[in-house]
Structure 1
Amino acid sequence: MATTLTKDVPSPPGSGKTFFGHPRGLATLFMTEMWERFSFYGMRALLTIYLLSGGPDASKGLHGGGLGMDLAATTAIYSIYNSLVYLLAMPGGWLGDRVWSPRRTVAVAAGTIMVGHLTLALPGSGTFFVGLALVALGSGLLKANISTMVGHLYDGPNDPRRDGGFTIFYMGINIGAFFAPLTIGTVGEKYSWHLGFALAAVGMALGLAQFLIGTRHLSPESSRVPQPLTREERASWLRKGLLWLIVAVVAYGIIGLSGHFTMNWAMVPLTVAGLVIPAGVLWRIKRDRSLSTGEQTKMSGYIWFFVAAAVFWMIYDQGGSTVQAFGTGKASDSLLGLSFPTSWYQSLNPVFIMALAPVLAWFWLWMNRRGKEPSTVVKFAVGLVFVGVSFFFFLIPLTMAVGGTLVSPVWLVGIYLIQTVGELCLSPVGLSVTTKMAPEKYASQMMGVWFLAVTAGDSVTGLLSLAKVDLSGAGVVALEAGLATLAGVAVVMYRRRVRALMGEIH
């Protein structure tokens, strides 16, 4: 499809060879993102089971050497890590726009991720959390900037190749995400956790090398700092940064020296920040007096989408924690006589996306030709209902897995399939509505605001886990399922009000 779209369309001057009819630089960014996602999802496939290994909630089939945590602590750490990746996307975009340029920021980010994975490969819980923080930091820095660089390859927003280019780029994400658990997950789960993390570092090293070798094919715009900080602004930011650093060092130094430091002193502030910062950002934009009445009205409508998306991601991201832990400890690790590592469950979502995304795109087009395509609001609601249904479906194997009974892995396949359909209904629509409803003043920042919905959802999960709520209990799973389903129904019931707030956007 991309080749057809790009036929007879000239590439930008100096671009030379093309990549499936697209600028050659797309191959560089495709491979960089593919290897970054390979390392990211490979580590993520190991994270939950590594934290559980050796602990009270670990499966008997897991080898030792993990951190031996219970499920509550594991889910909290997983959720906080995930929320930080998306929270750091905003400062990552800011650094690219105002300090380093997108190209330099991506190079720094890739190097940071690689060092983070190498640190994870070292034994010891202290180095593990340092490595996890570095991977989160690097992923946040890279996320917004590499997508911006894809856009730089094309002649403005009306270039007919642009959508096809982003589609190819998106495939790179899912190819890396699909193969990562099959390789890194297998090595880590079956042979050595730290060798698995080291393999993730190798993947990121390949991505960084690919990026540095192919950087000559990228647009010169990617090396430009769009809005560089003035000398006064730079000095002000340095003063503020040093002040907060001193406050943190002194506060945590006192706590540590007094012997009262526990993991909660680190995790609780991060989860609270994951809720306060998104709320604060939305409040600041909504209350900006320089916005027109129409823009403020659209922001009121956007808050509906934001809150609903936070509910969606709160449940969806438990596919890597609560659902993964259940699959590891209470589901059989064989199907049709073939055994497999339980980390392979994390390959289901990307393969379902690659299989179903074209089908769903065709389905919406087919509905549109008949004048029956659902509105943006309804699609969003459908996504919420699907993620709610996935947890109602989860209740079936939960009730079956009693007294040591191992359920069929097909139940897990069903959960991930239903969640993926929900993601394909909600996520692309959310990205689209974010760009359409963004006030002109905040056009570049609003994509980061959309990512903050993931941060908020994961932070709620983290807080519940820190409060020792059993997220794998049937009652809590049913409550979350009902919450998502009711949120979807509420969006449909109030769709006229939401559409009125959206103005001309439908």
Structure 2
Amino acid sequence: MQTIEEIQNFKGKYPKQLWYLFFSEMWERFSFYGMRGMLYFYMVHHLLMDKETANLQYGATQAWVYAFTFIGGLFADKIFGFRKSLFWGGLLMILGSVILAVNPKTFFFVGVSFTIVGTGFFKPNISSMVGKLYRECDTRTDAGFSLFYAGVNLGALIGGYLCIAIGKNQIFTTLIPNHLKWNVAFGLAAVVMIISLLTFLQTQKSLGEIGLSPLLHLSASKRKLYEWLTYLGSILIVPIIIAMVSNTVYTDYFMYAIGPISIIYLAYEMRGFSVAENKKLIAAVIFMLFSIVFWAFFEQSGGSLSDFAAENLNQTVLGIQLDPNGVNNSANSFFVIAFAALIGMVWLWMAKRKIEPNTIVKFGIAFLFLAGGFWIFYYTKFFADASGKTSLDVFTFGWFIITFGELCLSPIGMSAMTKLSPQKTQAVIMGMWFLASAYGQYFAGILGAGIASASENATNIQKLNTYADGYYQLAIYALIAGVILIIISPLIKKLMQDVK
């Protein structure tokens, strides 16, 4: 078995273990983003929710997905270790997808709830294992996370387009009976999740000591007791999650509480760290707070932009006929795959010449790209025909711009969390990073519901203008946030100390 030091002393740009984690995460993200891309459309067109409720419901569901990563990170740190947590989460995700495949209309919230709990155990821990492949201050870390993020988006690209296109009966129409199209779409998410787990099982030996149980110092019987109590607890919490996601008022209460509780818990943990370590943790929290704003805007993709795509976009990109919802789900992922490695190489090139911007400046640049993309979504209104249909080409170009913002924030953000947090709390900090995403999802639902409410009972051209004007406001707010981040970057750099 390799030691962590031997793994971290790899030659070249990427450790071989990164590729194994890349493929495991790729299939898991196929499953997750395939599911995510179907939720809002299915709620509106098959569960027959009104659009305002569907936006709030979508935001609550996705908020729970990311909020539970904090809990999953906590149990990985204290009981399971990264590997066992990942495997258990994958099993729960498979079960959730199978339940949805059997009868999505009747068991919608049951299947989604199992997926929520499973994602909480899976997602933060595979990212934490990527961070363990690098030594502190290794300049190759950002490039490694960028490549890993390309794997995330390869899965999201395929799953995001295929699942919704199958469900809407846009592809494989002669192979899949019409009455089974949604069953097959949800079932596909289960199949690829099985592939993800098999990939991890076949390659985990290469990880050496990374991700093993933190309780190896205890007796086997005591360790098993803690593990089985965690298994039982994660099953018993599913009915509570069902109640929470099916009634957004309960989600409101949860979101009011979980953020402050997580900050209090972190403050408790900080008592045992040095002043220098605590300064880094404060910097990490600042990153999290700004990331909430970023994801609140970016995650309009699953709610209001999904509705915009279904009703206000034509069906061609560069003359090729494509489903607009599939494009909305997958365009960002396509561009990430195309440019993630290039961005990683740019960071490496700049680091060698000592001109690489620090992480907070990268965050600020991310907001500027986000503002540009939403301004383009606004600008689609000037390409509309009399029926309120506008250019899918222009819309796709908006995602092209936003993608560069995401590449400046998301993979860099994950990397920053691993570099700014002491080893003892890495999984918890990664969980809090995804908890910040949960708040972004939550506020995204509220923003989307507000836009949907404003366009209620309007003609299609009026809806187009209402949505476009809403995106114009988001562009302005994103621009302001980016400027603020760049201005305060020297202060945050002092808190980060030696972390680049």
TM-score normalised to the size of structure 2?
0.79
Instruction: Tell me which residue corresponds to 2:68.
Output: 88
Distance 1:363 1:322 in 2: 33
Instruction: Tell me which residue corresponds to 2:159.
Output: 180
Instruction: Tell me which residue corresponds to 1:194.
Output: 183
Instruction: Tell me which residue corresponds to 1:137.
Output: 117
Q: Contact between 1:98 and 1:229, CA under 8 Å: does it hold in 2?
A: no
Task: Figure out how many residues of one structure are paired with residues of the other and give that number.
Answer: 470
Residue 127 of structure 1: how far off its partner (Å): 0.3
Amino acid at match of 2:59: S
Distance 1:400 1:272 in 2: 42
Instruction: Tell me which residue corresponds to 1:497.
Output: 491
Q: Which of 117, 121, 137 does residue 101 from structure 2 map onto?
A: 121
Instruction: Tell me which residue corresponds to 2:415.
Output: 432
Residue 486 of structure 1: how far off its partner (Å): 0.9
Residue 24 of structure 1: how far off its partner (Å): 7.4
Cα separation, partners in 2 of 1:119 and 1:401, compared to 1, 3 Å: farther
1:437-460 CA distances to partner (integer Å, 9 max, x unpaired)?
A: 335653442222222221111122
Instruction: Tell me which residue corresponds to 2:294.
Output: 312
Does 2:33 correspond to 1:41?
A: yes
Q: Contact between 1:35 and 1:203, CA under 8 Å: does it hold in 2?
A: yes
Distance 1:409 1:296 in 2: 47
Residue 483 of structure 1: how far off its partner (Å): 1.7
Query: What's the RMSD between the two structures over aligned residues?
Result: 4.3
Distance 2:90 2:240 in 1: 31
Distance 1:298 1:429 in 2: 15
Q: Which of 98, 117, 126 does residue 146 from structure 1 map onto?
A: 126
Q: Contact between 1:97 and 1:228, CA under 8 Å: does it hold in 2?
A: no
Amino acid at match of 1:277: I
Amino acid at match of 1:332: N
Amino acid at match of 2:196: G
Instruction: Tell me which residue corresponds to 2:257.
Output: 276
Q: Contact between 1:46 and 1:189, CA under 8 Å: does it hold in 2?
A: no
Cα separation, partners in 2 of 1:272 and 1:492, compared to 1, 3 Å: farther
SS in 2 for 1:494: helix
Amino acid at match of 2:482: G
Residue 26 of structure 1: how far off its partner (Å): 5.7
Cα separation, partners in 2 of 1:12 and 1:423, compared to 1, 3 Å: closer
Q: Contact between 2:371 and 2:479, CA under 8 Å: does it hold in 1?
A: yes
Q: Contact between 2:358 and 2:493, CA under 8 Å: does it hold in 1?
A: no
Amino acid at match of 2:152: I
SS in 2 for 1:69: coil
Amino acid at match of 1:433: A
Q: Which of 456, 461, 486 does residue 439 from structure 2 map onto?
A: 456
Q: Contact between 1:390 and 1:418, CA under 8 Å: does it hold in 2?
A: yes
Does 2:397 correspond to 1:414?
A: yes
Residue 209 of structure 1: how far off its partner (Å): 3.6
SS in 2 for 1:192: helix
TM-score normalised to the size of structure 1?
0.78
1:229-257 CA distances to partner (integer Å, 9 max, x unpaired)?
A: 899x999999x99xx99x999999xxxxx
Cα separation, partners in 2 of 1:230 and 1:484, compared to 1, 3 Å: farther
Residue 84 of structure 1: how far off its partner (Å): 1.9
Q: Which of 475, 478, 481 does residue 487 from structure 1 map onto?
A: 481
Q: Contact between 2:3 and 2:208, CA under 8 Å: does it hold in 1?
A: no
Q: Which of 353, 359, 373 does residue 376 from structure 1 map onto?
A: 359
Q: Contact between 1:12 and 1:23, CA under 8 Å: does it hold in 2?
A: no
Amino acid at match of 1:434: M
Q: Which has the higher contact order (CA 8 A, sep 6+)?
A: 2
Residue 364 of structure 1: how far off its partner (Å): 3.8
Distance 1:366 1:101 in 2: 35
Residue 204 of structure 1: how far off its partner (Å): 1.5
Instruction: Tell me which residue corresponds to 1:103.
Output: 83
Residue 302 of structure 1: how far off its partner (Å): 3.8
SS in 2 for 1:445: helix
Distance 1:185 1:73 in 2: 20
Q: Contact between 1:384 and 1:487, CA under 8 Å: does it hold in 2?
A: yes
Cα separation, partners in 2 of 1:335 and 1:264, compared to 1, 3 Å: closer
Distance 2:122 2:276 in 1: 33
- For residues 264-413 of structure 1, the aligned pairs below 5 Å read 266-286=247-267, 288-345=270-327, 346-367=329-350, 372-398=355-381, 400-401=383-384, 403-413=386-396
Distance 2:13 2:282 in 1: 41
Residue 194 of structure 1: how far off its partner (Å): 2.1
Q: Contact between 2:303 and 2:445, CA under 8 Å: does it hold in 1?
A: no
Distance 1:387 1:279 in 2: 28
Residue 407 of structure 1: how far off its partner (Å): 0.8
Residue 263 of structure 1: how far off its partner (Å): 8.3
Distance 1:126 1:213 in 2: 36
1:176-205 CA distances to partner (integer Å, 9 max, x unpaired)?
A: 222223432322221722221112222122
Distance 1:21 1:126 in 2: 49
> Unpaired segments of 5 or more residues in structure 2?
170-179, 456-466
Rg (Cα) greater in structure: 1
SS in 2 for 1:319: helix
Instruction: Tell me which residue corresponds to 1:56.
Output: none
Distance 1:375 1:420 in 2: 19
1:325-351 CA distances to partner (integer Å, 9 max, x unpaired)?
A: 211211001245532223321221122
Residue 141 of structure 1: how far off its partner (Å): 0.8
Residue 478 of structure 1: how far off its partner (Å): 2.8
Distance 1:220 1:316 in 2: 37
Instruction: Tell me which residue corresponds to 2:463.
Output: none
> Unpaired segments of 5 or more residues in structure 1?
1-9, 54-65, 253-260
1:266-289 CA distances to partner (integer Å, 9 max, x unpaired)?
A: 212224423532233224434744
Percent of aligned positions that are identical: 30
Residue 116 of structure 1: how far off its partner (Å): 0.8
Q: Contact between 2:142 and 2:347, CA under 8 Å: does it hold in 1?
A: no
Q: Contact between 2:324 and 2:392, CA under 8 Å: does it hold in 1?
A: no
Q: Contact between 2:128 and 2:430, CA under 8 Å: does it hold in 1?
A: no
Distance 2:125 2:244 in 1: 32
Distance 1:341 1:464 in 2: 25
Cα separation, partners in 2 of 1:263 and 1:445, compared to 1, 3 Å: closer
Amino acid at match of 2:379: I
SS in 2 for 1:112: helix
Distance 1:328 1:388 in 2: 23
